């Protein structure tokens, strides 16, 4: 089936601009998105939640569901149901119908004869709006600005009544229907693109009952003239229009179900045909066709699904009107649709499929050939954990199996005074590609320690089976200083030291407070004295001075209690040893006594 041309154009631009691995062999690894889309029939991709990565949409016949699968950016998905109210969900696409900047969803339901669009409110809840219930068995929908008024219109092909119609968006998202053809027997596909190079959007249809592929030429005022492209296409079930030969005009691809063919019709530049080729005739029950630059060589390749042989394949465009077939899988049970998007953000195009009998929506991740690496680490402020971000989705074993465990990482530490109680993380938790590892330390960090984290040997693999190296970069962090600053109190008088516990008759003492670490918030109010007072407080960094004047003779004390100041890491100080001094300011007296002789 087909998604909107609006979205296809976006994907093609991504493919052309982002591919860089020209000449690299393309291999694909299957990653299931869901196996519970009952009768999965149609699939497409778009950024539904506006977070910059491509999400996936599916329509499934048997459970009547339209689902969207929220991509976390790494190719892991959360399922959300948009609709279940139709009967036989057949085709799903996306486009911004209300011009509010987010992607809305469109779907056709074969047995309820309905086409709906689901308005995205910007936070990914959806409101259903009916576009039409007047076409019998609508099989294909396509979104494009057909009338050139700046908003997106909708084209519909319906099987039972052979109708090709387009629905004009009036700008407030109500639609007026216009018939283009009422005799497209078994109409199965509709597409919108400029075929004759006149700047307006034409329509195309494929009809399985009469084997026809038709072009409806838009005269610029939305009046259409039917022109035959083929009358013997062999039950054409799907169409795609794109410039396949790079000559500046659009060509047409068709998936012909009964003849097992993918056909390519070349445009001569003015809307006529310059020839056609069979890209393949070796499929069984061809269902869908798509075009994108899979191998990054700046020409468009072809992707197909076929139902009886359960095959998803791509056809390498050799640039000379010849194609080489590559099978991606032949185990997509009753494959019905395939599309293309970069789902894991590595710049390479992945293939997405819907297969009916196994209820599966899957994507086939293109292997970029790179080893998984540590992108960054982030240490908790209390040194208890370190968050390790991997460059891609990783697993404990090859075959994309097994969640990572503590033993898949190892720690080393250097510098400072703290050591590791264990080189193996004490815990592990995962959120996407971020793994938070518990750190067991012995001793209190001073901030001079560097912790390094590396994958262990045979520990971490990406989806393609590439093993992470045990030697990484971007994998170190300095431990946060957790050592409390200490402070000592000393005294002097007249240039001579006065020891704690001594007794002197000095009128004042010069006190020196020496911190083990620099501080900016130690002040006179942090010092507690008895038997005297402080004055002339000054200092910075690690050294501060003050003058102590005793109030009277007797015992005095000077203290700095705990938690009075902090170091640069905001650690509170520990208490200083108390300084004691006895001031003896009383002059000695002498008593003279006499005893008379005799």
Quick one: DSSP state of residue 407?
A: G
Least confident among 103-107, 287-291, 399-403, 516-520 = 399-403
Judge whether 340 and 301 are in contact, CB under 8 Å.
Answer: no
Residues in a beta bridge with 19? none
299-356 residue pLDDT tens: 999 999 999 999 999 999 998 889 999 999 999 999 999 999 999 888 999 999 999 9
Contacts of 15 (CB under 8 A, 6+ apart): 292, 293, 294, 296, 340, 349
User: CA-CA distance, 56 to 350, in Å (whole number)?
Assistant: 12
Half-sphere exposure of 209 (CA within 13 A, CB side): 11
| Strands 114-120 vs 202-207: parallel, antiparallel or unpaired | unpaired
Judge whether 405 and 417 are in contact, CB under 8 Å.
Answer: no
Q: What is the pLDDT of residue 19?
A: 34
390-420 residue pLDDT tens: 998 899 999 888 999 999 999 999 999 999 9
User: CA-CA distance, 479 to 420, in Å (whole number)?
Assistant: 12
Q: What is the pLDDT of residue 63?
A: 98
Q: What is the pLDDT of residue 11?
A: 34
Q: Which domains does the chain have, with CATH numbers?
A: 48-297 (2.120.10.30), 374-478 (2.60.40), 487-583 (2.60.40)
Sheet containing 77-83: order of strands:
40-46, 55-60, 65-71, 77-83
pTM over cut 0.85: no
Question: What is the rounded average pLDDT of the residues 482-506?
Answer: 97
Question: What is the rounded average pLDDT of the residues 548-553?
Answer: 97
Q: What is the pLDDT of residue 12?
A: 36
Residues constituting the chain: 598
Question: What is the rounded average pLDDT of the residues 24-35?
Answer: 86
pLDDT at 17 over 80: no
Residues in a beta bridge with 335? 355
Query: HEC states along 134-162?
Result: CCCCEEEEEEECCCCCCCCEEEEEECCCC
Judge whether 135 and 106 are in contact, CB under 8 Å.
Answer: no
251-295 residue pLDDT tens: 999 999 999 999 999 999 999 999 999 999 999 999 999 999 999
pLDDT tier, 25 (very low <50, low <70, confident <90, very high otherwise)? low
Q: What is the pLDDT of residue 73?
A: 87
135-189 residue pLDDT tens: 999 999 999 999 999 999 999 999 999 999 999 999 888 999 999 999 999 999 9
User: CA-CA distance, 141 to 1, in Å (whole number)?
Assistant: 9
Sheet containing 374-379: order of strands:
374-379, 385-390, 434-438, 428-431
Q: What is the mean pLDDT of the chain?
A: 94
The radius of gyration computed from the CA coordinates of the chain, to the nearest angstrom, equals 38
Judge whether 276 and 265 are in contact, CB under 8 Å.
Answer: yes
Question: What is the rounded average pLDDT of the residues 451-457?
Answer: 98
User: Residue 44 class from Cβ within 10 Å (0-12 exposed, 13-18 middle, 19+ buried)?
Assistant: buried
User: CA-CA distance, 465 to 193, in Å (whole number)?
Assistant: 41
Residue 280, SS3? strand
CA distance readout (Å), 121 to 72, 85, 202, 521 = 20, 19, 31, 52
Percent of the chain scoring above 70 in pLDDT: 96
Contacts of 513 (CB under 8 A, 6+ apart): 487, 488, 489, 522, 527, 539, 543, 544, 545, 546, 560, 576
Which two tokens mark 325?
Answer: 């077939």
pLDDT at 5 over 60: no
Tell me which residue of 388, 547, 540 sits closest to 454, measured CA to CA: 388
């Amino acid at each position: 089936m087909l998604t909107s041309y609006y979205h296809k154009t976006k994907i093609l631009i991504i493919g052309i601009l982002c591919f860089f691995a020209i000449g690299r062999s393309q291999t694909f690894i299957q990653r299931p998105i869901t196996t519970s889309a009952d009768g999965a029939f149609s699939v497409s991709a778009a950024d539904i939640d506006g977070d910059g990565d491509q999400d996936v949409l599916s329509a499934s016949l048997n459970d009547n569901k339209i689902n969207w699968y929220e991509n976390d950016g790494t190719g892991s998905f959360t399922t959300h149901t948009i609709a279940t109210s139709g009967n036989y969900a057949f085709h799903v696409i996306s486009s911004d119908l209300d011009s509010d900047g987010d992607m809305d969803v469109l779907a056709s339901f074969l047995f309820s004869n309905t086409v709906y669009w689901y308005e995205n409110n910007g936070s990914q809840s959806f409101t259903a709006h009916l576009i039409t219930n007047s076409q019998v068995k609508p099989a294909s929908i396509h979104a494009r600005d057909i009338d050139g008024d700046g908003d997106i219109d909708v084209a519909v092909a319906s099987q039972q009544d052979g109708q090709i119609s387009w629905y004009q968006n009036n700008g407030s998202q109500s639609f007026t229907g216009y018939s283009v053809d009422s005799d497209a027997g078994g109409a199965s596909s509709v597409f919108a693109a400029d075929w004759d190079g006149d700047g307006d959007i034409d329509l195309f249809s494929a009809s399985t009952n009469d084997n026809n592929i038709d072009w409806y030429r838009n005269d610029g005022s939305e009046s259409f003239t039917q022109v035959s492209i083929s009358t013997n296409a062999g039950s054409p079930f799907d169409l795609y229009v794109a410039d396949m030969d790079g000559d500046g005009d659009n060509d047409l691809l068709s998936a012909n179900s009964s003849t097992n063919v993918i056909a390519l019709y070349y445009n001569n530049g003015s809307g006529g045909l310059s020839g056609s080729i069979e890209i393949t005739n070796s499929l069984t029950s061809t269902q869908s066709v798509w075009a994108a630059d899979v191998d990054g060589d700046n020409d468009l390749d072809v992707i197909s699904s076929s139902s009886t042989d359960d095959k998803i394949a791509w056809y390498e465009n050799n640039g000379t009107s010849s194609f080489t077939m590559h099978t991606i899988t032949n185990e997509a049970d009753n494959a019905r649709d395939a599309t293309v998007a970069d789902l894991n953000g590595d710049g390479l195009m992945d293939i997405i499929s819907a297969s009916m009998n196994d209820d599966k929506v899957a994507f086939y991740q293109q292997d970029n050939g790179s080893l998984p690496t540590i992108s960054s680490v982030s240490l908790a402020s209390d040194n208890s954990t370190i968050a390790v971000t991997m460059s891609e989705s990783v697993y404990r074993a090859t075959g994309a199996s097994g969640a990572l465990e503590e033993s898949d990482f190892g720690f080393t530490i250097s510098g400072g005074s703290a050591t590791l109680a264990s080189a193996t993380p004490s815990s592990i938790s995962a959120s996407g590609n971020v793994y938070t590892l518990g750190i067991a330390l012995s001793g209190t960090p001073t901030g001079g320690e560097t912790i390094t984290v590396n994958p262990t040997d045979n520990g971490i693999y990406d989806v393609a089976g590439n093993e992470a190296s045990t030697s990484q970069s971007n994998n170190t962090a300095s431990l946060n200083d957790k050592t409390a600053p200490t402070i000592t109190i000393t005294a002097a008088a007249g240039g001579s030291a006065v020891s704690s516990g001594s007794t002197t008759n000095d009128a004042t003492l010069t006190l020196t407070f020496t911190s083990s670490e620099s501080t900016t918030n130690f002040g006179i109010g942090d010092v507690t004295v008895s038997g005297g007072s402080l004055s002339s407080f000054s200092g910075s960094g690690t050294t501060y001075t003050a003058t102590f004047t005793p109030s009277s003779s007797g015992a005095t004390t000077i203290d700095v209690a705990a938690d009075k100041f902090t170091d640069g890491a905001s650690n509170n100080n520990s208490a200083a040893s108390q300084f004691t001094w006895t001031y003896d300011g009383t002059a000695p007296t002498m008593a003279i006594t006499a005893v008379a002789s005799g």
